[in-house]
Every structure is written in structure tokens, then in C-alpha cells.
Chain A
Amino acid sequence: MTMFHFFNCAILTFGPHAVYYSATPLSEYDTLGTSVKTAVVYLVTALVKLVCLATFLKVSESDSFDPSQELLKALIGFVDVAGLYFALTQLTHRNISQNHKFQAVGLGWAFADSVLHRLAPLWVGARGLEFTWDYILQGLEANANLMLSISLAALGSLMWLRKNKPKTLIPIIYACAVIVATMPSITSYLRWGLGWHLPEVVGFQLFTSLAMALISWQLFSACQRPSA
């Protein structure tokens, strides 16, 4: 019965990645290599982030929200953006179109994040007898994270790869990218600074990631038009 619950949570956490890969043209163009490479980049990025956090952050005894520390954390969070930049610009795997590249990168990024952050707690926790909503919420969070990662990759590819984009859209693209990149800090602020409960935070994450995904989609298709 508890194995069953673990199975359910695993489906919720990792299923969307697989569905995304198989449902979109990604699978037809065999972009798995790009995703795997991105995952490796994510691992390295996470390592760098850990080292930075360990070096610059003070260990706080309490769970309280310290603005300066959080600001530092948010700055270190931009290491992610650097990692994504590297993955988008430096990785060349065959000749896949920009259109598919950012999706493959975003997917690999989100999947690596899920495996790294959610697999172990899921295995340890969801198999226990005790039932909590936490692991279901965590699965939903993984979904939101997938959307955010792909949005960020889309915006990144707009910023760094596309040369001829409408001038009017450039500030919007940058603003959106900043918002998406700071989303982890924002949720952390809601959780620890304002004391929101986990369901509320996850709801917020789902809502904002959906909104950001829609916006980046619109931006992307808007940039697509003139070139097409």
C-alpha cells in the first residue's frame, strides 16, 4: 500500500517530464543527448552553487528570514542562469533547431533538478506508513518547476541565440527572465518570510509558473513571426 503511494508520487513527480518528451517533437528529432548533457551541466552548476553557498553563507541557527542572507542566496541562485547560458550556447549536439534546443535543455534541466532534489526524500518518505500530503505537493512542485525551467530556457534562447527580434519586446523578455530566475527566492521568501504553508506556496508556484509559461510562449511566438 505504501509502495503504491510511492509509485503514485513518482508518477506525479517524473511523469510530466516523460510525457513532455514523448508528446512534443523532441522525441522525433532524438534530442535526448542534449537533455542528458544539460543534466550534467545542471549537476556541475549545483555543485558550484553548493560551494558558493557554503563559502558565503553564514549558518543560521533559527529558521527566521534574514533579508541580507536571502539576497546573497538569490545572487548565488543566478549561477543557475549562468549554467543555462552555458547549456544553451556552448552545447552543440548535432544540428537541432533553436526551437527544439531550448525545450530539450529546459527538460533536461528540470529532470535533473527533480532527480537531485526529490527522488531521495520520496524514496525515504513516501514508502513509510505515515501518510502526508507533502509528497503529492512535492510532485506538483516538480510540475511547476518543469514549466519554469522550460520558460527560462525559452527566454534564454530568445536573449542569447536569436539575433533578429523585435526591439520593443527586448525589455519585456529581460524583465520576464529576471522574474523567472528569481522565482526560487520569491517562493523561499513566501515560505519562510511570510510563513505561508506548503499548500499555499505550491499553489502560488503552480499559478505563477503557468502564467510565466504562457507569457514566454507568447513572447516566443511573437519573435518567431517576423523571421518566419
Chain B
Amino acid sequence: MANAAEGRRQVLESVYSVIALVFILVACVELCDASTVVDVYRLIQYDISGVPFGSRVASLNHHAGSSLFAPGSDLSRTVVILPLRELNETFIREYIEQGKPLGGLLLLLPRIFRSENSETVGGYGDSSDKENMKKLLVDLERRLIHASINYPVYFAFEDEDLDTVLADIKRNDAAGQPATATTGGYKLIVTSPTPKKLASPTITNIQGWLPGLKADGDSNQLPTIAIVASYDTFGAAPALSVGSDSNGSGVVALLEIARLFSILYSNPNTRGKYNILFGLTSGGPYNYNGTQKWLRSFDQRLRESIDYAICLNSLGSGEKGLWVHVSKPPENAYVKQIYEGLSNVAEELGLEVGLKHKKINVSNSRVAWEHEQFSRLRVTAATLSGLSVAPNLLENAGGLSDNREFVSEAAVVQSVKLVAESLARHIYGQQGKDVNIFADNSSLAVNPSYIRSWLDLLSRTPRVAPFLSKDNAFIMALKKELANHVVEVNLQHDVLDGIFTFYDSTVNTLQIYQVASVTFDLLLLLVLGSYLITLFSFLVITTRGVDDLISLFRRPPSRKVKSV
């Protein structure tokens, strides 16, 4: 008898341990079952000389709210979902610039700003609406970049799922019951570790040569013309900064010019007496830091052999005309020569080219144009740009609003013709003559499909320098493409100016859960309890009779507790 009891106890114990194991295993099962999961792009987080800018937090776990909140209400535990078109001045001033507490901010961008669908041009809204949106976004981006924000800020693109969620939230808010832990609604969750500093971000410059025809002696004796474009971008969301115009258009123009001249230089009869140096520089938004380091790496002889440099910048919006920015006075002979060369060709193409002179202030660390880095080293240089005024630091560097939708391929084609033609006339000594070297339909014609495909590629590739590794696929592609046309292509790696510090965690996934409130759960418990009690009474009455039920309650309470 005792043995049997012992054996049974052992069996029971083993059963218990198996059950415990099963429960532990089951408890580990955690499934992602959110109603909506979207990619979100975090506002950039960076320091300039230790001063914090951008959004300082990445993780998010709060209830959602819409723009319909009551003024003056406490939003420190609410994530406000805000479509770009509903953004108003008061909100920006209070929550972005004055730093009122907020649980988080999710900004919804219209679909046109999505870089993935860059090929599907048009078919969305009218152009004035588009332009308005762009203006709004440019303004918003400027203020976000220069503010230091103590809550997470994310960007997402409008889509059906988010629209329905937002409509629900708005209905809730309009009914005067904003979502908190007790009333239910939606919960937005981004799980992300604390953003970490990027260790010594690198910048990579790419250079290549088209050597001229040497008469006798070293080719280094020949004068050099440099064509330069900076390829990296900066924007409020690093993962969305594709910079189709600034400076994707410049990069495309440079590649096309390299292609055209490589055809000319491959034939000894048409090889000019100038070396052409092509440079794709990085660090453009940071005072052309990469250009500076690239130029510093040249030896004195090479630097002195540079006749002049033309920097290409934001050519895709230049339908209305282009500007030649110089830092030497227009009376200077070299500047005059460059400008006249360009404006002569521009006249034939029906383009307007203006000249803008901006003196360099050596004590000011701000370098607004790429050519200023050349000028500081006493090399004649000019920037050809669609922009008429010098941008501020970190602005106009290919941010959120700068995408394929707003870049005109035709403008890039025109600029390429302009630069290539004036360059060719200078190299072959045909200034002022009415020759058309790169005429349409000739073998030297500008290839619009080449420009289009590269513009499309650039418009899909975010290129914020600190987030590009040394052997990034895109940099390798640029190098390979340049190597197809020119020789001696090599990469130069350097470290970005130390005053800039960047933080990681640029893309995250946002999970949106529809949650029930605590009151709902309490109510449900109440309903269920009364249901079970009713069921109990009903069963007792039907199977044993009313008297039994009444007698149940007369018994000691311990029996009752056991039975329920």
C-alpha cells in the first residue's frame, strides 16, 4: 500500500515537471501580431561640436493621437500622427521649436515623396498642390534639422493601413475621448535600442583622369581642367535623403560629360591638349569637407596645373536658367573666360546663364559652394548651379523633398550640353565660333536614356555620407561607371570633420496595435461573472430544484467558494 502510494507520487512529480516544462516553452512563444506594421524613418540625430540636434530618442511606446487634440491638453504620453498637409504653424512653434513635451511624433508624408516609385511620374494631384507640399516640407525639414527634440520623431508614407488607423483615431478624438490607457485605441510601438554614436564616419572621394595628348614629355606638363560634383546628401531622415537634384543631377551630368569626352579622347586625332580631371566628392553638406581633403591631398605641381575647375550642383531644377557662382570679381580674366564660354553656348541653347559673385570670408568656416574650396587654394573655379543664392549649412543638400518627381531630365540634358560644349570649345580653341560638337543625332549626342537611368538610380539611393561604409555598393558602382569612361580611377578615404557626430538607428519598424482599455476588460469580467452565476443557478434549479439552490446559500460559505 505504501509502495503504491510512493510510486504514484513519483509519477505525479514527473508529470508536474513535464507540465512545468511545457508551460515554460509556451511562455517563450512571442508572436508579432500587430494589426499594422510599417517602415518608419527616424529624424536624424547629430551633434555639431557637442551641441545636440535632431531627435534624441528612438524607442516609442505610447497611445496614438491625432491633430484634433484639445488645445492645452497634456500630450506627453501621446504619439501625435500628423499628415504633412495638416501641419500648422502653432504646432511647429510649440512642439518643435519650443520643445513642449510630446510622447512622440509620426509625420506622414504624401506618396509623391516616396523614392521607390520614382519611375511613376505624374498621376498624382495637380502641380500647384505638389509645389505647396514641397514648400511645406522644405520649411519643416529646415526647422526639424536645427531643433533639438527630446522625443522620437519618425517619418512614414501615407498608405491605406495608416489612413484607416488615422481615420479611426480622428473619430475617437473628435468624439472627445482621446486614447489613453483607460479608453483604448491604438498603441504605437517602436522597439529600438538607444542610438549609438557612429565611430569616425568616413568620406570617400572618387577621382579619374582623361589624359590629354602629350606633345613631348610628361603629361603632367599639360594644363588640367577639373569637373567636380559632390555626390552625398543630408536630410531630416537619412534613409530618405536621395537628393535627386542636390546633387544627383550634378553626378549624372559629370558621368555623361566623362562619357562624351572619353569618346573624343579615345581617338588620337581628337584628343585635346588638356588633361581632364573628374572628381566625385563626398562631404558636400558639411562645408565641402571631402573636397577640401581631396584638394589637400594633391601635390603642389598638380594643383598649379589646374587651369580651372567647374563644380556642378543642382542642375535638375535649372529650367529657368543657371547661375555661375564665382568668388573672384567678374573682371578677373579667367572668370570672364569661363563665363563667356558658358554664356555663348547658353545663348545658342536658349538658356539663361547669370553670373554671381560672392566674396570668400576666410575667417568664416562656412563654405557655401564647392568652388570656394578651390578658390581658398588659389585655383580658379566656378560652380554651375540652378540655385541663385548660397544655401545655409545642411540646407538644400538633398533632403526629404528633393526627389525624382521634382527633377527635370531635360534640364540635366541641357546643362550637360552647355558644359560639354563650352569645355570642348575651350579645349580645341574654338571659342566664339559657331561649331556644334555635341550636336543631336550625331555620335557625340547627349544620351537622355543614360541620364534618365542614372537619375533613377540616384533617386533610389540614400547617400548620407556617415551612413555609407567605405565599400558601399553604390560607391563601388560609381567607381565602376567612372572607370568605364576614364582611367586611373581611384578612391580616397578620409575621416569626416570631427565637429560632426552622427547617431545610428535610421530605419525602424513601427507596430500599431489596436488595444482594449482596462475598463473594457473589467466590464467583460463583470459580464462573464454574472453569466457564469446565472448558468450555475439555472443548472442547479433545473437539475436539483429551487430548494437546493437556496439551501446552497444556507451552507457555510466555504462550500460555496469551492463550488464556484
A residues at B contact (CB < 8 Å): 1, 4-5, 7-8, 11-12, 15-16, 19-20, 22-25, 27, 120, 123-125, 128-132, 136
Contact = CB atoms under 8 A, between A and B. Distances in A.
Give the dominant DSSP class at B's interface.
helix
B532 A11 contact: yes
A23 B537 CA distance: 8
A130 B539 contact: no
Contacts of B464: none
A8 B31 CA distance: 20
Contact of A129 (B34, B518, B536, B537): B34
Contact of A16 (B187, B518, B524, B535): B535
B31 to A, nearest CB: 6
Contacts of B540: 23-24
A8 B524 contact: yes
Given A24-B543, A131-B515, A1 B34 contact: no
A124 B563 contact: no
B513 A23 contact: no
Nearest to A28: B544
Contact of B518 (A4, A7, A11, A24): A4
Contact of B532 (A1, A16, A24, A120): A16
What range describes how many residues of B lie at the interface? Answer: 20 to 34
Contacts of A12: 528, 531
A123 B539 contact: no
A25 B513 CA distance: 45
Interface of B: 26, 29, 31, 33-35, 181, 184, 187, 189, 513-516, 518, 521, 524-525, 528-529, 531-532, 535-537, 539-540, 543-544, 563-564
Contacts of B563: 22-23, 27
A130 B535 contact: no
A7 B518 CA distance: 13
23 contacts: A1-B181, A5-B516, A5-B521, A8-B521, A11-B525, A11-B529, A15-B532, A19-B532, A19-B564, A20-B539, A22-B536, A23-B537, A124-B31, A125-B31, A128-B33, A129-B187, A129-B515, A130-B33, A130-B513, A130-B514, A131-B514, A131-B515, A131-B516
A136 B524 contact: yes
A22 B564 contact: yes
Contacts of A8: 521, 524-525, 528
A23 B518 contact: no
A130 B521 contact: no
Contacts of A5: 516, 521, 524
B543 A130 contact: no
Contacts of B518: 1, 4
Nearest to A133: B516
A15 B529 CA distance: 9
Contacts, number: 79
B184 to A, nearest CB: 7
A17 B18 CA distance: 25
Contact of A15 (B34, B513, B524, B528): B528
Contact of B543 (A1, A7, A23, A120): A23
A112 to B, nearest CB: 16
A125 B521 contact: no
B528 A125 contact: no
Nearest to A130: B513
Nearest to B27: A123
Contact of B536 (A4, A11, A23, A128): A23
Nearest to A26: B543
Contacts of B34: 129-130
A40 to B, nearest CB: 14
Contacts of B528: 8, 11-12, 15
A16 B528 CA distance: 10
A122 to B, nearest CB: 11
Nearest to A139: B528
Contacts of B187: 129
In the complex, which of the residues A8, A23, A130, A132 has the most CB atoms of chain B within 10 Å of its own CB atom? A23
Nearest to B29: A124
Contacts of B543: 23-25
A25 B535 CA distance: 15
In the complex, which of the residues A7, A16, A131, A132 has the most CB atoms of chain B within 10 Å of its own CB atom? A131
A120 B27 CA distance: 11
A129 B521 CA distance: 13
A19 B544 contact: no
Nearest to B515: A131
A4 B515 contact: no
Contacts of A23: 535-537, 539-540, 543, 563
Contacts of B521: 1, 4-5, 8
A22 B562 CA distance: 9
Given A16-B535, A20-B535, A130-B513, 13 more contacts: A7-B525, A8-B521, A12-B531, A19-B535, A19-B539, A24-B543, A27-B563, A125-B33, A129-B187, A129-B189, A130-B34, A130-B35, A130-B514
